[in-house]
C-alpha cells in the first residue's frame, strides 16, 4: 500500500473526518474514510496522540461494570469506566477523574497501565490506554445530563451470566471474560 494523500472532509465538534488516498496492491487508487478526535497535521501524525483511557476496576473479588445507555447504538450495554484525557492532564489524573465522574469511586491503587492501543482501528486513529485499578468508596452519580450510567460491582458468577445474556462493548466483554477465568 502506498500513501498518496490526506484531506479533512468535515470538522465536527468532537470528531474530524478525513479521507485518505492510497494506491492499493493492484495499483488502483483507494479512498478510505477515518475519524479522529484531533487535528491530524499529516500522515506521520496518524495514531500518534493518546486520547483517553479504559479502566478495569476491582473492589476486593468483584469487577466494576457500567450498564450505560449509548446513543451510538440506541441501547444499554455493559461497559468499562472510560474517558478522554484532558489538556495537560496526566494519565493517572485522568483515571481518577473519570472514575469519580462516572461512579463516585476513588482509586485505591493503580495495578498497571498498559501501553497505548488503538480503540477502533477499522475507522479511526484513536489511541487509548487500559488501566487496571483497585477502587474504594461509595457509588455517587456525578455524570452529565447526557449520560445515563448505572455502576455496580459484580462477582465472577454474575459476570458469567451477563456474558451470556447481555450486550457489551468489546473491551468490556474481553475484560469481563478474563475476569471470570482468572
Mean pLDDT of the 130-150 span = 94
Domains and CATH numbers, the chain: 2-45 (no CATH), 50-181 (3.90.79.10)
Cα of 60 vs its chain's centroid, Å: 24
pTM comes to: 0.92
Burial (CB count <10 Å: 0-12, 13-18, 19+), residue 54? buried
| Cα 122 to Cα 93: distance, rounded to the nearest angstrom | 29
Beta-carbon count within 10 A of 110 CB: 15
**pLDDT tens per residue, range 97-117:** 999 999 999 999 999 999 999
DSSP, res 181: H
Measure the CA angle with vertex 100, ends 98 and 102; round to 5°. 65
* Nearest-angstrom CA–CA distance, 174 and 182: 12
Amino acid at each position: 500500500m502506498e500513501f498518496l494523500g490526506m484531506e479533512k472532509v468535515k470538522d465536527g465538534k468532537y470528531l474530524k473526518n478525513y479521507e485518505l488516498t492510497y494506491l492499493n496492491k493492484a495499483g488502483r487508487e483507494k479512498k478510505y474514510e477515518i475519524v479522529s478526535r484531533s487535528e491530524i497535521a499529516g500522515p506521520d501524525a496518524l495514531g500518534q496522540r493518546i486520547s483517553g483511557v479504559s479502566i478495569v476496576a476491582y473492589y476486593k473479588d468483584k469487577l466494576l461494570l457500567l450498564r450505560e445507555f449509548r446513543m451510538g447504538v440506541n441501547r444499554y450495554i455493559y461497559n468499562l469506566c472510560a474517558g478522554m484525557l484532558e489538556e495537560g492532564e496526566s494519565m493517572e489524573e485522568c483515571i481518577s477523574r473519570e472514575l469519580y465522574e462516572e461512579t463516585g469511586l476513588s482509586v485505591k491503587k493503580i495495578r498497571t497501565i498498559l501501553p497505548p492501543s488503538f480503540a477502533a482501528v477499522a475507522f479511526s486513529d484513536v489511541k487509548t490506554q487500559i488501566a487496571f485499578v483497585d477502587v474504594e468508596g461509595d457509588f455517587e452519580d456525578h455524570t452529565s445530563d447526557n449520560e445515563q450510567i448505572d455502576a455496580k460491582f459484580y462477582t465472577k458468577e454474575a459476570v458469567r451470566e451477563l456474558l451470556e445474556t447481555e450486550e457489551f462493548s468489546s473491551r468490556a466483554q474481553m475484560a469481563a471474560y478474563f475476569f471470570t477465568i482468572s
